[in-house]
Chains A and B, each alone.
Chain A
Amino acid sequence: MSLAQQEALRPLIPAHEPLDARERHLRVVTAPARRPRAVYALLAVGVAVLIGVIQLGISIASTQASFEIQQLQKEQHALALRSQELSDAVVGLSSPQNLALTAAKRGMVVGASPSYLRLSDGEVIGTSSAPKSSSVDPRRMQAVPNAILANRSTSSTKQTAKGATMDADGSTTAPVVQTPPPAAEGLPTPQTR
């Protein structure tokens, strides 16, 4: 047996290593303590349901708000109509034509040139005579037309029904308002017994 043959016949595993030393350290692994799978499932479903419920809640709330908004818009519209109606009812009353005509009916006249009282020395500046007659007469000639006032007088019967009373000459006066009597001395105090 040649050396080469011997070499070839040598086992592949080195002879000096003991057989047991080549074995791996294997041992049975015990399974880790596991939670039951059902918990996960429940958690997942629970979260999903929760999300669903929250979403539903938000949706309901916003839908509800949407109805409320519509309700409020309706109210706003009704109030806007009311405010329009009221402004229709008073428009033109503050016009100079109406004021002057009403004043003239009450016997007021447009005064003549003005007088001033100087505070420093009490002197009256200007003329102090009262006017004998008005320089304009809106009763005889209503020269500054206002169709709004004309429309008012035709529909005034309708207006009267709503609280205002009509004078014989066609002007309106406010209804009597119950005001407390003016305090004569100091603040009014309740009488106690």
Chain B
Amino acid sequence: MASQRVQTRRRSLSVLFVVVIVMAAFVIRLFDIQVVSANDHLANASRLSFDSRQTLPGARGTIEDASGVVLASNATVYDVKLDPLLTKEPLKAKDEQGNEVERSWEEVSAQIAAVVGMDVEDVRKVVADALAVNPEGRFAMLKKGVSTETYRELRELNVPYIGFDTHQVRRYPNGAVGGNIVGFLGADGTPLAGLEMSEESCLAPTSGEEKWQRGKDGVQIPGTLVRTPAVDGGTLRLTIDSDLDWYLRQMIAEEVKKQGARSGSVMVAEVATGKIRAAAEYPSLDPNDYASAAAADRGSRLFTATFEPGSTFKPITAGIVMQETSVTPLSTVQASSNERFPNGARVGDAFVHPSYTYTLAGALIDSSNVALSKFGTKVSPEKRYEWLKKVGVGTRTSVGFPGEESGILPPASKWDNQSIYSTTFGQHYTVTVPRVVSTYQMIANGGVQVPLSLVESCTSADGTITEKPETTPTRIFDEDIANDLVRMLENVAAQGALEKAIEVPGYRIGTKTGTAQKPAPGGGYKSGAFYTSIVGIVPADDPKYVIMVSLDEPRRVTSSAATASAFQKAVTQVVKTYRVMPSSEPLSDLLPKFGK
């Protein structure tokens, strides 16, 4: 009796044990499914249960100028492909009366050719070639990049053997306006140059996805659609004005041709904000057709070409000397047109003159290298090096343009007997155009440098506007010294050799020309080839804009006079574009060129 009971208990225990084991197995498996490999299963589930899916490509952001004119946008184009195998059989179709008619390949190919604008023989050849390679071939590319209009017309032909690949391409409605700055995308959509490349984080879209189950007739089964929307790229707003940019490009191109120069450029920046309003250059790059431009013309020379600034940096030397010593615009030095200095260095002026008692203003007006050497060396090379570094020589501007050069400023310890003097008149170190513009912006802005910028803001798809990070203005020169410099620059314009050539009636302007020698390949300088430039502040009585025009190796006139006409036109256009009022008071007393 008792042994029977024990047996029963043992049996139920073993059953319980088995049940527990089985349960445990289920629990472990469940844990595995739900937690451990949950993601794999979810992926599998969505792969197996949704038989239709589609990537939703986001649109790349547009690029606009300062007033919203679109400089870069997107367009859809289509690649037309054919199924050669299907062309072997004539198509069966119904005409208006409902009669069965046959449309032969000869007939259809003629229609296709008319729509895509190809020769009918070429269309037939594409198919014949494909069939020659593979008689069962199902693919032949007919034409790439056709427009939406052509696409619609081809679809209306109602031919089953035409297929399409759709893709987005970049379109630049204003062509080369702003082209060198905007940059371009490669054929596969990779940004290759300009702001398209450096502002990729703003412009790039995020793709979305759509998946659903589909009924037999292709209609989506209700309730099965799962959509992750794409996020379009942001809108990039630049600081440049496209109309002004066009004018300056057209104008500098005509001037380059007239002067027989290699290239030319104009840059305009706003004094108060450091915003670059135009960055025009010739040769202009049309991003729609970058492939046909020479490799050297695909970037922006404004940012990538460096040169010795020459005389355009004499006012900087004047500023440094006034900061460090008690020299004023009326302080004098004695200078003849060619002098040998005690350390053996020889410095000469551009024209022969007797020994003059130059004021600092006069030294700038006549652009005397000898006089500037004497003023400049009142300050030690180390101090001058520190000042040039502070001004920004040898560093890239805050624009951060792709491929932007920094220029080179050798340390004072590397300055030899000659360069101790030549650094006072802008030689022995190199700069880019934006660096010169930035320096003059500082002078025009009362000694406060506002870093240059090309990008105004980025507006993301959800409307959030990201302004470019606020750049901190830096005081370089004292305000009264900067104002003295502007006054001297105005005297340079009014008393200099180019006075008539650069005059804009009604406006007071301050300018400085520069004729920089170009390094020859074998060392030394090229003879008769100069990088000529002129940089100006307008209006001089209330500085609003800094304008720099440069020509590389003009041949008709090799001096900075070559740039005078371009500069005059640029100033005229800038004051018109921005409604700058004419100066209300004429220039007061001129500063004397010579002292006693």
Chain A residues proximal to chain B, CB less than 8 Å: 62-63, 65-67, 69-70, 81, 84-85, 87-89, 91-92, 94-97, 100, 110-116, 125-127, 135-138, 141, 143-149, 155
> Once the chains bind, are A111 and B576 in contact (CB under 8 Å)?
yes
> Once the chains bind, are A113 and B504 in contact (CB under 8 Å)?
yes
Cα distance A137–B255 in the bound complex, in angstroms: 11
17 contacts between A and B (CB under 8 A): A66-B222, A67-B219, A89-B149, A91-B75, A96-B177, A97-B177, A113-B504, A113-B505, A113-B576, A114-B582, A126-B582, A127-B506, A135-B572, A135-B573, A141-B257, A143-B253, A146-B172
> Once the chains bind, are B572 and A97 in contact (CB under 8 Å)?
no
CB-based nearest B residue for A95: B174
B253: which A residues are within 8 A, CB to CB?
Answer: 141, 143-144
> Once the chains bind, are A144 and B175 in contact (CB under 8 Å)?
yes
A116: which B residues are within 8 A, CB to CB?
Answer: 581-582
Cα distance A125–B585 in the bound complex, in angstroms: 11
**Contacts A97-B175, A144-B175, A145-B289; is A126 near B219 (CB within 8 Å)?**
no
Cα distance A148–B575 in the bound complex, in angstroms: 30
Cα distance A144–B579 in the bound complex, in angstroms: 25
Cα distance A87–B74 in the bound complex, in angstroms: 11
CB-based nearest B residue for A129: B505
Report, as a range, how many residues of chain B touch the other chain: 35 or more
> Once the chains bind, are B506 and A144 in contact (CB under 8 Å)?
no
B286: which A residues are within 8 A, CB to CB?
Answer: 145-147
Beta-carbon contacts of B496-508 to A below 8 Å, as 1s and 0s? 0000000011110
> Once the chains bind, are A100 and B250 in contact (CB under 8 Å)?
yes
Chain B residues proximal to chain A, CB less than 8 Å: 69, 75-76, 117, 147-149, 151-152, 171-177, 219-223, 242-243, 246-247, 249-251, 253-254, 257, 282, 284, 286, 288-289, 504-507, 569, 572-573, 575-576, 579, 581-582, 584
> Once the chains bind, are B572 and A88 in contact (CB under 8 Å)?
no
Cβ 8 A contact of A141, one of B254, B507, B584: B254
B69: which A residues are within 8 A, CB to CB?
Answer: 94
> Once the chains bind, are B219 and A146 in contact (CB under 8 Å)?
no
Cα distance A149–B220 in the bound complex, in angstroms: 43
> Once the chains bind, are A143 and B247 in contact (CB under 8 Å)?
no
CB distance from A102 to the nearest CB of B (A): 13
> Once the chains bind, are B569 and A143 in contact (CB under 8 Å)?
no
CB distance from A20 to the nearest CB of B (A): 51
A85: which B residues are within 8 A, CB to CB?
Answer: 147-149, 152
CB-based nearest A residue for B580: A114
Cβ 8 A contact of B173, one of A66, A94, A145: A94
Give the residue among B249, B250, B582 with the most A Cβ atoms within 10 A: B250
Given contact pairs A66-B220, A110-B573, A149-B175, enumerate 11 new A-B contacts (beta carbons under 8 Å).
A88-B75, A95-B174, A96-B246, A115-B506, A116-B582, A125-B506, A126-B582, A127-B505, A136-B247, A141-B253, A146-B286
CB distance from B305 to the nearest CB of A (A): 19
> Once the chains bind, are A145 and B176 in contact (CB under 8 Å)?
yes
